[in-house]
Structure 1
């Protein structure tokens, strides 16, 4: 059956499943075959319409509380992913390790479909209830999986294409599953790559959260990659004992004992105390491991994890508080060549020198959080940068989220209680994002905090004072919201002591620099031609920098690792990159590049994958999309 197209193989597999109740090994991908076998063994019938069981609100609430940290990190990333996936008829879902849907973000077109009504919070999508589906399968396999169309066990789910990736916690357990599902007719082949990037971001956030009181070494062989997803994260305690390493750190240090219980000295040639001393004197430190590889290293949480070194800081705390100007090397993760943006940064630097609240205004995707992070760095504060999505705070648990809670404060409260987001920001920066969307009844709680900056955990405990730099951001016209009674005037005047506004991307004078900077973060070896920059600059960019990042990601995938992006080559088609015609152009470019490389290597799939920097499975999929394959 080697000459059959993938579509024909799947059609024959469906006939065998539905008419004879068997899963055909020669027709199905191994993971789909095993899943169908399990479904048949469980007595599931492919023609039957399965009932989607939805748990009650109390059980859903308890599940959300159980995975509160993962949810907080994932919801922010889900919004980013939502803006990166272009087109319509799609949804993004977060599931727990057992296949219960915790949260969804749904496109308006998809929201009205029968599938959307079933894939909602509280729904159980484990394999034994809903058959072969990506969310349930990814958790069980502990690996990314795509289930396309008729690969779903139940016929009724055959109109969906689902891409799901497990999210691993710092201990190696599956913490959740992130899924992007769409109408299979609008299937987008770059979606899996975007979901994987989002998952890595969430996993890094979970790692940092688990080790917020430990030393976290951020390292890479090249300095420009230090704050990217390709950096390694290594957690050690104040004595140098290894606590954990993320997957990228394990990759860098392969062959060395980068496992809990081992010591810093077993990994690196520099002594641990010497390393700490250098870390207090410099923003970045050079390390060489025992295999001879050299790294650039930044250190997070140095003051908290090593208080005995506090006197060795680069500057005294009083000098930090008075420093009105940010150093040039602080502005490393965004471009500020536009005069309006540069002026905003100068205002922010002056505000943090006086520890006054800052309000950042701007449309969605203009870089408000990046400016907030700049404020944190410019302040010189040793504490953490703690972002809070005000629109996502649950009404019933907002005080517990902000101020923490004592053990047993409410049903589902974790053993030992929790510190709360404000306490986590003590000595650092509290970033209140989407402040304009905070419900009115919750605004009084925030106002009470701003009055005296004291907190008391829900359910008991002593009051304590916190030292926090406050930064808020919104895309809402707060004056209009105040006039309409949706936002408290007293809170507005407390927040906007210093106010800055970021211009939309289409009005920025440094568009070319922004585009090339974003592309370096996506693929450091890729290059945008001047013609490509000019074509991109003609677009209105309603989604601003976030939209541009999504478009550049798709173009980089199409060009291949280290490729040259020149939109002038396609006759202008890609000037409307977000449209359906351009999507087809991008996919065609991906397939053509894979086919050309495959032919150049004499049909060697492994070598093609190595050259392009993709998996062999990706090469196989793209080869199936070449014209001669699809016409069989």
Structure 2
């Protein structure tokens, strides 16, 4: 048997299974043989089509609610994984620990196949329901597994290759299972590696969420890997007691008691409070463990978890960027962006209009530590004939209307800082080629001649369209898409975020610090679909603040009235006054109190004029 190829050994194994009802130990990988044995013991017959079982809608809803946090984090990673797996005929699925499918993302070419129709939300894919399959087997083994073609117990699934890995919660229990399945012809060797990376990202998100009110130490032996998936995470309380360690932390600290109940001092040679003091003075600290290994360490939640040690201001994630980030999926996206920016990796931000893509880009700029400018460019707003000249600059006389003396271009303006290309899906194809050349050698040459110039910048792109679909339609270059897609995050729509109330209150404080809103009013607002997302919410809150005037409290009745009330008509007799009030209000960023102060009038007067604009 030793001279047989893997494919021949598998063919022989299936013959033995069919003729003798035995899983041959000499022909199969141990995990597949053991799974076949369990299927045979359960009375499953390999050549019979398995019964397709689906949970009732209420059972699926309850399971999704029970695993809400895991789903939020996983869905963001599933979208990333979907775009990372090139080719076609594949799907990404998330299952609960028992093998029930919670969510799927399916490629168009795979969606209509018989196999894809079987793998859908509510489907029961435990090993004893659907035989040997990756999703069910990974849960049973508590380990990643690939099930290729005929390794599936049931012949009907012989055309599939499935890669699955369990997602472990901070308590060591399986929280879910992530699966990437394709037809055998589209099998890709790197798929399992990508699945494992996604799983680790989700696990780290679960870890941080579980210990968001405690200190989380992020550490690695090499500084450049501190914000990557290979970093260790260690949670401790304010007194230094160990609460949990992720798998990478356990690997780094093997041989040491990195377990709950032990103390920081049992792991590291530096005292805990001395470590905290040093952590307040600098972003990164050097620590040496009792085995002699040295680490670079950063601390999450230092101010929140240990207020007694808060000697300098450390804002919560997103605060410096000017937006709320209490939703787990948004926090996970911010951490991914921070890690990518720290390493200078191009970042692609996806999301519908108004979800905060530019704010996330500004967070990337802050996380990069660059001292240069943040230069935003709306690719959709630039005239097609001038896009290249605006980006890369132009020599004097390069074209009709060129500036005297030429222009150095937006890319050069961003040198040492961040270039944010918004709506990059609308960039003309010829300019896409020039951008690709920039990514290749990081040099620019002005339109119309001149010497090439080296630039050093962080590139962030954003779009509200599906770039993979645009590539397929010939509207976007595939090679540029792959270069931009090194780190992709997707911002959820406002209606799907768990921090709606916090967002609304934050926006209202920027609109009018003297205005408040009741919980009932927030609940009424949260029930709306918000197709315009945060931008639409800001407009609605502005109108509500104007409506309540100096009373300063928005309640549920105001929200209900605002939904149906017609827009007021401006008074032509007061047009000049209204225009001045509106102009001042816009200059102050919508701050009613500051507008009133500048104009020397009462807030109520400002409200009246704004109401009549």
Q: What is the TM-score when the length of structure 2 is the normalising length?
A: 0.58
Cα drift, residue 15 of structure 1: 1.0
2:218 corresponds to: 218
Distance between the aligned counterparts of 1:329 and 1:39, measured in 2?
44
2:423 corresponds to: 362
Matched, 1:332 2:434: no
SS of 1:177's equivalent?
strand
2:383 corresponds to: none
Distance between the aligned counterparts of 2:508 and 2:215, measured in 1?
17
The 5-angstrom pairing of residues 152-301 of structure 1 reads: 152-301=152-301
Matched, 1:92 2:189: no
1:402 corresponds to: 499
Cα drift, residue 336 of structure 1: 8.3
Cα 1:330–1:154 change in 2 (3 A) is: closer
Unaligned segments of structure 1, at least 5 residues? 349-358, 371-386, 405-419, 428-437, 454-463, 466-492, 499-632
Matched, 1:31 2:60: no
Cα drift, residue 19 of structure 1: 2.0
Q: 1:230-265: CA deviations, max 9, x gaps?
A: 111100011111100011111111111111111111
Cα drift, residue 425 of structure 1: 13
SS of 1:390's equivalent?
coil
Q: 1:517-572: CA deviations, max 9, x gaps?
A: xxxxxxxxxxxxxxxxxxxxxxxxxxxxxxxxxxxxxxxxxxxxxxxxxxxxxxxx
Cα drift, residue 332 of structure 1: 2.1
Distance between the aligned counterparts of 1:82 and 1:45, measured in 2?
33
Cα 1:128–1:196 change in 2 (3 A) is: same
CA contact (8 A) 1:280 1:314 kept: no
Distance between the aligned counterparts of 1:426 and 1:248, measured in 2?
42
CA contact (8 A) 2:504 2:537 kept: no
Cα drift, residue 274 of structure 1: 1.0
CA contact (8 A) 2:170 2:210 kept: yes
Q: 1:359-397: CA deviations, max 9, x gaps?
A: 983347974589xxxxxxxxxxxxxxxx98424x7x6xx
SS of 1:147's equivalent?
strand
SS of 1:261's equivalent?
coil
The 5-angstrom pairing of residues 584-599 of structure 1 reads: none
Cα 1:369–1:309 change in 2 (3 A) is: farther
Matched, 1:441 2:529: yes
Distance between the aligned counterparts of 1:272 and 1:243, measured in 2?
14
Distance between the aligned counterparts of 2:162 and 2:320, measured in 1?
50
Matched, 1:40 2:10: no
CA contact (8 A) 2:376 2:421 kept: no
Distance between the aligned counterparts of 1:148 and 1:255, measured in 2?
37
Matched, 1:313 2:312: yes
SS of 2:76's equivalent?
helix
From the CA coordinates, give the structure whose radius of gyration is larger. 2
The 5-angstrom pairing of residues 338-357 of structure 1 reads: 345=374
Distance between the aligned counterparts of 2:508 and 2:291, measured in 1?
39
Distance between the aligned counterparts of 1:330 and 1:53, measured in 2?
42
Cα 1:261–1:335 change in 2 (3 A) is: same
CA contact (8 A) 2:161 2:181 kept: yes
The 5-angstrom pairing of residues 545-584 of structure 1 reads: none
2:20 corresponds to: 20
Cα drift, residue 334 of structure 1: 2.6
Distance between the aligned counterparts of 1:69 and 1:423, measured in 2?
23
CA contact (8 A) 1:282 1:314 kept: no
Cα drift, residue 452 of structure 1: 6.4
Cα 1:336–1:231 change in 2 (3 A) is: closer
2:492 corresponds to: 390
Unaligned segments of structure 2, at least 5 residues? 323-337, 348-361, 378-419, 426-435, 437-458, 464-488, 510-525, 543-552, 555-584, 591-613
CA contact (8 A) 1:281 1:314 kept: no
1:383 corresponds to: none
Cα drift, residue 122 of structure 1: 0.8
Cα 1:316–1:218 change in 2 (3 A) is: closer
Q: What is the TM-score when the length of structure 1 is the normalising length?
A: 0.56
Q: 1:449-476: CA deviations, max 9, x gaps?
A: 78669xxxxxxxxxx99xxxxxxxxxxx
Cα 1:149–1:444 change in 2 (3 A) is: closer
Distance between the aligned counterparts of 1:92 and 1:205, measured in 2?
19
Cα drift, residue 289 of structure 1: 1.0
The 5-angstrom pairing of residues 524-535 of structure 1 reads: none
2:125 corresponds to: 125
Q: How large is the RMSD of aligned CA atoms in angstroms?
A: 4.1
SS of 2:51's equivalent?
coil
SS of 2:529's equivalent?
helix
Cα drift, residue 316 of structure 1: 11
Distance between the aligned counterparts of 2:44 and 2:199, measured in 1?
31
Cα drift, residue 62 of structure 1: 1.2
Distance between the aligned counterparts of 2:233 and 2:508, measured in 1?
23
1:624 corresponds to: none
Distance between the aligned counterparts of 1:174 and 1:423, measured in 2?
36
Distance between the aligned counterparts of 1:88 and 1:50, measured in 2?
26
Cα drift, residue 52 of structure 1: 1.4
SS of 1:441's equivalent?
coil
Cα drift, residue 227 of structure 1: 0.5
Distance between the aligned counterparts of 1:32 and 1:306, measured in 2?
49
Cα 1:76–1:159 change in 2 (3 A) is: same
Distance between the aligned counterparts of 2:133 and 2:54, measured in 1?
17
Q: 1:18-70: CA deviations, max 9, x gaps?
A: 12211111111111111111111111111111121112222111111111111
Cα drift, residue 333 of structure 1: 3.5
Distance between the aligned counterparts of 2:121 and 2:188, measured in 1?
24
SS of 1:77's equivalent?
helix
CA contact (8 A) 1:231 1:248 kept: yes
Cα drift, residue 105 of structure 1: 0.8
SS of 1:182's equivalent?
strand
CA contact (8 A) 2:46 2:155 kept: yes
